[in-house]
Structure formats: C-alpha cells, structure tokens
Amino acid sequence: MLLFCLMLWCTFADGCTVERCEEEMPPEFLQSESTNTRFLAPILRAHYRALALEVHFRSWNGNDTQRQLTPWQGELIDDALCRNADWMIVSFADLLAPAVQRRSAHYSVLLMLDYDALCSWLQHGLDSGAYHFDGLYTIVIEQLADRGQLHAVMRELWNRQIINVVVVVVLARWEADNRGELVAYSYDPYAEGQCGNAAPYEIGRYANNNGTWDRLAGWFPNRLTNLHGCSLTVGTVEVSPFSMIRTVDNRTVQYGLEVHIVDTLATRLNFTFRYVRPTDGVKWGILYAANSTGLVGLLQRRGADFGFGSLGFSLNRHTYLRMGVPNHMTQMIMGIPPKRPYTSFEKLFQPFAADAWLCIALGYAAFALVALALVTVNRRLAREPALQHPLYQLWVLLMGGAVGWLRLDSTRLFLIGFILNALVIRTLFQAGLFQRLQSSASLASDLNTLEAINRAGLYYNMFRASLQFYRDNPSIPASRIKLVPNDQRDWDDLFYELSQDRLGGVMVSPLDCIAYYVKRRGKDGVVYVGKDTGFMYNLGFHYPKSTALQQPFDGWILRMHAAGLVHHWSEEYRDNRYWTNAKEDPEPASLRWNQISGGFYLCSALMLLATVVFLGEIVYFRLRTRRLLQRCCGRKTRTRRKKSV
C-alpha cells in the first residue's frame, strides 16, 4: 500500500518539482509524458479548489497482480501534480487500502483499469469511513469496452447514491474515427422527467490536437436544490407528537411536529414522498453491524432515503447511520405517578399551610383567653342583657357572622376580633379556597430525583430503544429497569396507567410526549414529571451512510429554526394548564359538586352535631323538669302530712 502526502511547488522555468512528505514517489509516477494525459489537470483546477481540502488519488486495477499503476496512469498523475502544484495537496493510495490508513475523502480522483475494477471498488472499497458520498468524484477508466458498459457504470454508481460524479473514458475504444479523444460523462437522477434514471450524458470532450476541453463549466452542479418532483422514501414510526396518523375523508393523513418539517422540505426542494414503516413489528429498533431491527435497521439497509420519529442522537446511531442537524431539542425525563387524590374535605384545609393554621390557632387562643379573663374578672358582663357572651361572639365571628350591639367599654375588644376574622382570615381563606376547590384532584408525588425513585422502590419502565441512555447510569439499578414487552404499545395507554398509578413505577419518555398527552387527556388523569430526573438530547433526521441528501436538508432545517417555525409548531402540541391550574377561559368557571362537596359535608356534620345537641337539651330539660316536679310534689306531700299530724 502506498500512502503519502505530496506538497507540490512548481516553477515554470525549471520544470516541475515535487516534495514528498513520506516515501519516495513510485517510479510509475515519473513516466514519460504522453499527449493524452494532460486532460485531468484542468478538471482539478476548475472544480477541486472551492474547499481547502486535499485531493485523494486512488487506484485499482483489478486483482492482486495488477494493483500497480499502469504507465498511462502514472503519466496522468505526474502531469496532474505538476500542473496544480501551486495549490493542491494530495493523498495517494490504492482503493482497497485498510480504512484505518485512509482519510475521509471529499475530493476523489479514482483511476481504474476497466469495468471489473470499478465493480470491485464499489463492492469492497466504498465505505462511509473513507469517502463522502456527497463529495466530488472524477473516475478515469482506462479500458471500457463499449457504451453498454458505460450505462452499467452509471447504474452501479446510482445504486451507491453517488451523484456528483464525472466518468472520463477514451472514446477510441468504440469510435475508431475519434482515436485518442477523451469524453467526460455524468448523469442526473433528479432531472426533470428523469427521476431515478442513471442514463449517461456527455458533458465535455478533450481533443488531443489542441489539448483543451470544449467546456468545463457546470460539471458538478448542485443537483439537490430542485428535485423536480422526484419521489423519496421516508421511514417513520408513530410517536406522539412527532409523527401521528389520522383518517380524513377516508384518507390516512400523517401529521405531527416532524411531519411539518418534512412537508416544508418537500415544498422547498420540490420532491414528493411516500411513507414506509418497519415490517418486523419493532418500532425504533436496535442497531448492529448487520441484521439491525426496526426503523434504524430499515435505514441501515437503505430501505428509506431518510427517517424520523423521535430518533435521538446516540453514539451507536452515529456509527451505523448518518445524522442531520437537530430538528428539536427535548428532554428524556421520568413521568411520575400522582399522589393519592385529595378529597374535597381535605381541600378545605389547603388554602393555608400548617404554619399559617398554627398562627391562626394561636391568635384565636389568645382572643379566647382575653374573653375568658374578662368574664372571670367581671361576671356581671356575662349577664348583661344587651351584650351576648364573649365566647359566643367569638364563635359568631369565626363562622362568618356579624357582631351585635357593642358597649363602649368592649368596642376595642370586638373590633380586634372583627379585623382578625373578617378582614384577614375570612378574606384570605375564601380567596385561596376558590382556587383550591377548582384545582386538580391530585398533585405530583415527591419523586423529583433518581434517589427518591430508588427509595420508593419503583421500577423504571422504558422501551428497549431507550435502554441505551440508561444502561450505564450508576444511579439506576439494572434490576429496577423494566422493559415494555411490546414495542408497538400505545403511549396513551401507558400514560393513562401511569396517571392511575398502575405501572408500579415511573415511565421514561421524551418530555414532549408527556406534554402532548396532558394536553389531550389531562382531564382523565395528569402525568407529572420528575423535575431533576431528565437530560437534554437532540432529535433529528437519520439517513443511510450513503446519502447526499443531508447537506441540503440541513440547510433548510437551520432556516426553519432561524425563522422560529420549529418552536411555533412545537407549541401546538403542548398545553400546561393541567400542570399550572390555569384556566382555558378568562372568566372563572362554575364550581362543580365534586369541588364543593366538602363544604356541604362539613355543614351536614355540624347540623348533625347541632341536632344531637338540641335533642340533648330537650332530654336534659325534660329530666330536669321531672326532677323539679318530683321535688315539688315531694315537698307538698311532706307538708300535707305535717299538717295532718
């Protein structure tokens, strides 16, 4: 294998001087100059200078006995180096060199002996670690039998998704009247009316008589700015709110956050698309070097041009797939079950916290002690006909009643009680009570950290695709991870069970999935999130390794972010009113029975207590009256007996 960098400096007075970075140049590089080897240098100077990247020369001549450069290839490289020595940095190797010894090539010049050599490179040497599939390729084939093989070459290149390519062949091989003339061919699979057609077309001729190309402009146009209505295959899975399905007028319609992005891309780049889904019953799937499953396996096998459906970025997916710029940033977080629902009676105590209730109790105790002290010091005050008992007045104020006529010497006492009750306690309590009665029937449980979840002994429910984010987390015991057995299980069913605390643990999910469920079905049961249990991660389109679509897609997605479209679309799928207890309408909603029943229960209990007291008073009055009658009757009887005696 030959691998070295060539720093080239060319002086026209003394000829061409080549400085080598590593080994001496092979003798095949220094062949005598031929008349038909100068065609490559103008191509490189015209099209390979836009980016300051090295030019990768690769050669492959069929089998192990022919891997050395042919004399014509040696002269070709020698001439290209000399004529571009003022700017070009070169890396040279044979096409099947080990990948660890190569640099990833954006500018490639491939020298091949024949069609079989090209097929051998496509089968064994073309991999994403060594080549950019959206880079520029100039392929020089020394021996090509006929035009039929040229068509086969283009079909093979299109099957590998290489579209920025120029194939240079010697026309003398099949046209005797044009001996020595070279012709450059290319193809455009996204041309108008030619979708998927890899038919070669001529882009330039090089004549030996004058040593120039008849045209060099437009050899590598940007063919992906307009796809002319060609169809792309899009892999997806149903994940709310990123990719969802509904039926409209007997038609299946795809919608969701990432679907908005795809629709916008299709409009801007002028392509159509059809959706495909994994056929193995697995949603996202697991990636391996081979035999991957689910959506990622579909992309790895090039069953789709790109795919989406809440696909987060990860090292494994970066290894086997190609990832675009992030579509959306979200959190992978724990959905937690609610606490036991509060009863309407318990809500009566919610307006004030425990310390506030303690302060109120101390205030009433002080007020009661003052009232008792006044009664004890001056017992005549309690018997004043125009003034009710102070303890009774305290109770009336506590229950929201109005005070009666006040004596001048007791005005300050009852004024303090009125301010304490009517202006402070009653006003604040009633204001807080109105909100509490209308609040959600349940509150989030105290599971805001992984440590709290572990202390509670709960399981971490997650899909198998999410396991890669938590497998190596020391805070999550492996014995506590519980995988969802069915990858096609509906998110709504899982979240509803979580809202009713039937999962036996927490649910690992993207935050947007939980927010969308709460927006639609929050009235059936709220799913809360553990505040400190998540991490930020990016979602984006994933492509097969051999794709040229990533760069134009990324450019438009970044424009959507800059215009605020992605943020605007994401807000359509969330509504925090069930988390913040905000109202849909600006006007207060009417109270319902389940919200105010606690007050009626308390009123009924007090009425029952009052009835018992009233019955007790009646019984006590009758017993006391009977005793008085018995005493009176007994005294009269004794008096009569004394008189008779």
> Considering just the CA atoms, what is the radius of gyration of the chain in Å?
43
Q: What is the pLDDT of residue 17?
A: 35
Q: What is the pLDDT of residue 243?
A: 93
Number of CB atoms found within 10 A of residue 463's CB? 18
| Stronger pLDDT, 586 or 193, i.e. the higher one | 193
Is the pLDDT assigned to residue 612 strictly greater than 90? no
Percentage with pLDDT > 70 across the chain? 73
Residue 472 and residue 314 in contact, taking contact as beta carbons nearer than 8 Å: no
Section 39-50 average pLDDT: 92
Residue 204 and residue 167 in contact, taking contact as beta carbons nearer than 8 Å: no
Q: What is the pLDDT of residue 24?
A: 38
Instruction: Give the DSSP H/E element, type plus range, for residue 207.
Output: strand 201-207
Is the pLDDT assigned to residue 32 strictly greater than 50? no
Distance of alpha carbon 459 from alpha carbon 477, whole angstroms? 9
Q: Which phi and psi (to 5°) does residue 145 adopt?
A: -65, -50
Tens-digit pLDDT profile for residues 289-333? 888 999 999 999 999 999 999 998 988 898 899 999 999 999 999
Query: What one-character DSSP code corresponds to residue 315?
Result: H
Distance of alpha carbon 624 from alpha carbon 620, whole angstroms? 6
Q: What is the pLDDT of residue 34?
A: 44
Residue 294 and residue 282 in contact, taking contact as beta carbons nearer than 8 Å: yes
Q: Per mean pLDDT, which range of 63-72, 173-182, 334-343, 368-377 is the poorest?
A: 173-182
Q: Which phi and psi (to 5°) does residue 173 adopt?
A: -65, -35
Q: What is the pLDDT of residue 403?
A: 59
Q: Per mean pLDDT, which range of 107-116, 350-359, 497-506 is the poorest?
A: 350-359
Is the pTM value of this prediction over 0.85? Answer: no
Residues forming beta bridges with residue 186, ordered by sequence position: 201
Is the pLDDT assigned to residue 349 strictly greater than 80? no
Strand order in the sheet with 201-207: 15-20, 4-11, 89-94, 55-60, 105-112, 131-141, 165-170, 182-186, 201-207, 212-213
| Stronger pLDDT, 617 or 48, i.e. the higher one | 48
Which tokens hold the place of 356?
């506030």
Q: Which residues 6+ apart lie within 8 Å of 222 measured at CB?
A: 552
Residue 326 and residue 539 in contact, taking contact as beta carbons nearer than 8 Å: yes
Query: What one-character DSSP code corresponds to residue 645?
Result: -
Q: Which residues 6+ apart lie within 8 Å of 479 measured at CB?
A: none
Tens-digit pLDDT profile for residues 359-390? 778 877 877 787 677 667 665 554 555 556 66
Which tokens hold the place of 107?
């500018």
Tens-digit pLDDT profile for residues 428-474? 777 777 666 655 555 556 788 999 999 988 999 999 889 988 988 89
| Stronger pLDDT, 524 or 200, i.e. the higher one | 200
Is the pLDDT assigned to residue 518 strictly greater than 70? yes
Q: What is the pLDDT of residue 541?
A: 96
Is the pLDDT assigned to residue 67 strictly greater than 90? no
Is the pLDDT assigned to residue 197 strictly greater than 80? yes
Instruction: Give the DSSP H/E element, type plus range, for residue 91.
Output: strand 89-94
Section 406-422 average pLDDT: 55
| Stronger pLDDT, 522 or 436, i.e. the higher one | 522
Q: What is the pLDDT of residue 471?
A: 87
Residue 40 and residue 140 in contact, taking contact as beta carbons nearer than 8 Å: yes
| Stronger pLDDT, 642 or 609, i.e. the higher one | 609
**pLDDT-derived band of residue 556, with 50, 70 and 90 as boundaries?**
very high
Q: What is the pLDDT of residue 332?
A: 92
Is the pLDDT assigned to residue 585 strictly greater than 50? no
Instruction: Give the DSSP H/E element, type plus range, for residue 466.
Output: none
**pLDDT-derived band of residue 241, with 50, 70 and 90 as boundaries?**
very high
Distance of alpha carbon 255 from alpha carbon 290, whole angstroms? 32
Which tokens hold the place of 168?
């240079």
Q: Per mean pLDDT, which range of 280-284, 404-408, 507-511, 640-644 is the poorest?
A: 404-408
Q: Name the pairing type of β-strands 244-248 and 251-255.
A: antiparallel
Q: What is the pLDDT of residue 73?
A: 86
Tens-digit pLDDT profile for residues 449-460? 999 999 988 999
| Token pair 């040593």 in the structure block, residue | 211
| Stronger pLDDT, 367 or 583, i.e. the higher one | 367
Q: What is the mean pLDDT of the chain?
A: 79
Distance of alpha carbon 154 from alpha carbon 198, whole angstroms? 6
* Structural domains of the chain, ranges and CATH numbers in brackets: 4-213 (3.40.50), 351-438 (no CATH)
**pLDDT-derived band of residue 16, with 50, 70 and 90 as boundaries?**
very low
Q: Per mean pLDDT, which range of 238-242, 264-268, 389-393 is the poorest?
A: 389-393
Q: What is the pLDDT of residue 400?
A: 57
Q: Name the pairing type of β-strands 459-462 and 481-483.
A: parallel
Q: What is the pLDDT of residue 10?
A: 37
Report which of 291, 329, 292 is spatially closest to residue 310, judged by C-alpha positions: 329
